[in-house]
Each structure stands twice: as C-alpha cells, then as structure tokens.
C-alpha cells in the first residue's frame, strides 16, 4: 500500500517498551504494531514519554513517564487519576497541534479513547481508535457527549466486543497478534493443566483450581494477585493442599516453557473479555484451550479442533477428559494463520485505506 505519515499515540503513563515489571497488554501490543508499521516503510511519529527507548521518531514534550514521576504512596486515588488524565492530554494535545499543520495522513490512538476523543474535532486528519475494553453502558455515557463521535473511527478487537455499542462508527475488527517466534511449539505436554491471568474473580482462577481438583489433575497458575481477600479465600486453600502450584507473575520470555508443558489452558472467565491474549499464547505453543463461552472465546478457539468452548464447570471437567483428542499441531497452525503480528498489522493497513478513502 501507499506509505503513510502516521501519528501513533501509545500512552504517556509508561515508557515504550514497558518497564519489565509492568504487564499492560494494550501497550505491549502497541509496541509491536508501531514497530511493524515502521518496518513496512510508513513514516511513524510515536507520541510517548521521554524515557522511552524504542528506536524511531518520537515526540515526548520532555515529559518522563507518569509511572516514573508519580508518588507511589498516594497513587490510585481520585486526584492521582485527575493528574494522570491531564498528563496524557498534554501529550495528546501536542499530537493534534502537529496534525493541524498537515504533518500526518492519519492518527492512530491505540488506547485511552475517553482521554483523547475531545481532540478529534480539532483537525481534518482522521483518527483511528483501537478499543481494548468492553463496550458497556459506561461507554455509551462517555461517547454520547461527543457530537463529533462519527469523525472518530473505531477498531474492535473482536466482534463480540461490539455488542454493547453496535452502532458505533466501526472501521473493522482487527484481532490481536503475537510475535510467533517468541512462542515455541511443544509437541508433547507434561502432566499438568495451566491457568494464566490475573488472580481475580472475573478471570475465574478459583474455578480453574476447583475444576482441576475435581478432575484429579495438577494445575499450575501464573499471574498476579488482585485482591488478597479473594485470593486467600478462593485460591489459597487449594495451594495449602498441594493441589496447585503458583508460579507467580511471568515475563513473556518465560511463557513458552510454562504454557508449552501444559496439557491444556483453562480459561473460565466470568466477564465479556474483549480478546484474551492468554488463549493465543497457549495455542501458539501447541496447547489447546478450554474456555467458558464468554467474550471472544468462540472467535478465537475452533471448537473441537484447537480446544473446547463450554458453558459451565461440569462441561469443563468433561472436556479435560477429551483433551488428548486435540492435535497440538493444529493449535499452532491456527495461530500462524490467524493471530500473528503480521496478520494484525495487515488489518490495520486495511483500516487506514478504508478510512482515508471514505
């Protein structure tokens, strides 16, 4: 396609690449997208914090990432959120000032829609937003105030994500993708199930350990604790009995060993998760996924071919008995064909074409 001049907004909260101790899926994906776009010859200007080490043309306004700047002792409160919003908008306003000078063909804001949406009407340059959150009632309230909402072009990361706001100005659905080289295929599994994600109610870690115990299977869980009360009440009792192993929070380069050794990944979510990177990370390693029929699960998993879509704990327990009927090579091929960085950026290039021709 024609090479474009693209203003790309990641975030001003964290540096790019992210600090090692931070897991923030949208921003990890943003780095992959912007790097691939630059590799394809597009003229990228990345709006990011001044401590970002990524090697490309950057605009920072001299602002160090808010994560590095903020007072950790007072973070998370109301005033901290106000400061964070202002901090993001200082950089976003610079991007839109630059766009008024005709510097760009298109603006891509990869996250943070409510913080950036008010600027969209200040330039003729079209804006593309990638949506990473469920489009629920709160989003309807946010977006309805912007009378120019149709000047913004939205990219959903699954078709299911659109259900809460079906009439939004969607340009396309573009599925998230992996750098497939970082996930090693393992043909043979070891004798354990896996769970990967926040140790929280909406992610269903408690269901995963309960189902594993009911099945008489060992399970290893990886992630971070969200709410000590929930973890102590719902997960820790199984840990004490030796029925599960908590391997903690893993870096991306540790995921292949953890996931690849599993006979299956359990994904018993209790919310309409817009995508769910853990599913494609597991399948990239050859690991089938057993997921509750919520969010994007039915779009990401091929039922009976790369895993199973189930409705409840009983069906998940039954599916574990049939997991060896899944060919692990089919799981890997499914990701190679549908969920790579290349496939993802192909999708974004098509979005840019569609928006610029409309």
Q: Are 333 and 264 within one domain?
A: yes
Q: Tell me how many degrees the CA angle 340-345-348 measures, rounded to the nearest 5.
A: 135
CA-based R_g, the chain, Å: 21
Q: Which residues form the domain of 37?
A: 5-177+340-357
For the ranges 72-81, 199-208, 237-246, the lowest mean pLDDT is seen at: 72-81
pLDDT for residue 72 is more than 60: no
Higher pLDDT, 69 or 7: 7
Q: Cβ(231)–Cβ(199) under 8 Å?
A: yes
Kindly report, residue by residue over 90-136, the tens digit of the pLDDT. 999 999 999 999 999 999 999 888 889 889 999 999 999 999 988 88
Q: Are 12 and 151 within one domain?
A: yes
Residue range 152-163: mean pLDDT, rounded: 96
Q: Are 246 and 353 within one domain?
A: no
Q: Cβ(27)–Cβ(104) under 8 Å?
A: no
Q: Are 60 and 140 within one domain?
A: yes
Quick count: other Cβ atoms within 10 Å of Cβ 168?
19
Q: Are 73 and 199 within one domain?
A: no
Long-range contacts formed by 241-245: CB under 8 A, 24+ apart:
241/213, 243/209, 243/212, 243/213, 243/218, 243/219, 244/209, 244/212, 244/213, 244/218, 244/219, 244/220, 245/192, 245/218, 245/219, 245/220, 245/221
Q: Are 184 and 315 within one domain?
A: yes
Q: Which residue in 169, 117, 158 sits closest to 344, CA to CA?
A: 158
Report, in this order, helix, strand and coil percent for the chain, each rounded to 5: 45, 15, 40
Q: Tell me how many degrees the CA angle 282-286-292 measures, rounded to the nearest 5.
A: 45
Q: Are 215 and 155 within one domain?
A: no
Kindly report, residue by residue over 284-298, the tens digit of the pLDDT. 999 999 999 999 999
The total number of structural domains that make up the chain: 2
Kindly report, residue by residue over 8-31, the tens digit of the pLDDT. 998 888 999 998 878 889 999 999
Kindly report, residue by residue over 41-69, the tens digit of the pLDDT. 999 999 999 999 999 999 987 889 888 87
Q: In what order do the strands lie in the sheet with 5-9?
A: 58-59, 43-47, 5-9, 106-109, 127-130, 152-156, 170-173
Give the CATH number for residue 218.
3.40.50.2000
Q: Are 45 and 165 within one domain?
A: yes
Q: Are 81 and 188 within one domain?
A: no
Q: Percent of the chain beyond pLDDT 70? A: 96
Q: Are 158 and 224 within one domain?
A: no
Token couple for 22: 């931070």
Q: Are 165 and 213 within one domain?
A: no
Q: Are 11 and 155 within one domain?
A: yes
């Amino acid at each position: 396609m024609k090479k474009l001049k693209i203003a790309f907004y990641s975030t001003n909260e964290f540096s790019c690449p992210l600090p090692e101790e931070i897991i923030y899926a949208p921003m990890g994906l943003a780095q992959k997208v912007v790097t691939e776009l630059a590799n394809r010859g597009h003229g990228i200007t990345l709006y990011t914090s001044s401590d970002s080490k990524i090697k490309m043309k950057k605009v920072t306004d001299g602002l160090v990432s808010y994560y590095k700047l903020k007072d950790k002792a007072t973070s998370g409160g109301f005033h901290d959120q106000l400061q964070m919003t202002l901090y993001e908008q200082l950089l976003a306003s610079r991007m839109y000032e630059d766009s008024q000078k005709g510097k760009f063909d298109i603006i891509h804001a990869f996250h943070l829609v409510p913080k950036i949406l008010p600027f969209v009407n200040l330039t003729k340059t079209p804006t593309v937003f990638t949506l990473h959150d469920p489009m629920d009632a709160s989003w309807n309230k946010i977006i309805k105030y912007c009378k120019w909402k149709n000047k913004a072009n939205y990219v959903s990361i699954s078709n299911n994500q659109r259900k809460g706001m079906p009439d939004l100005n969607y340009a396309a659905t573009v599925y998230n993708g992996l750098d497939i080289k970082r996930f090693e295929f393992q043909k043979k599994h070891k004798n354990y199930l896996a769970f990967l994600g926040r140790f929280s109610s909406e992610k269903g870690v408690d269901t995963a350990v309960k189902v594993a115990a009911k099945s008489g299977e060992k399970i290893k869980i990886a992630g971070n604790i969200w709410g000590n009360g929930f973890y102590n009440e719902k997960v820790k009792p199984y840990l004490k009995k030796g029925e599960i192993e908590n391997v903690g929070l893993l870096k991306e380069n540790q995921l292949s060993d953890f996931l690849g050794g599993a006979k299956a990944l359990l994904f018993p979510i209790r919310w309409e998760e817009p995508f769910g990177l853990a599913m494609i990370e597991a399948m990239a390693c050859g690991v089938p996924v057993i997921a509750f029929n919520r969010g994007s699960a039915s779009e990401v998993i091929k039922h009976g071919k790369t895993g199973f879509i189930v409705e409840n704990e009983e069906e998940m327990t039954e599916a574990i008995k049939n997991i060896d009927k899944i060919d692990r090579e089919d799981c890997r091929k499914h990701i190679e064909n549908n969920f790579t960085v290349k496939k993802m950026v192909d999708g974004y290039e098509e979005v840019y074409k569609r928006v610029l021709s409309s």
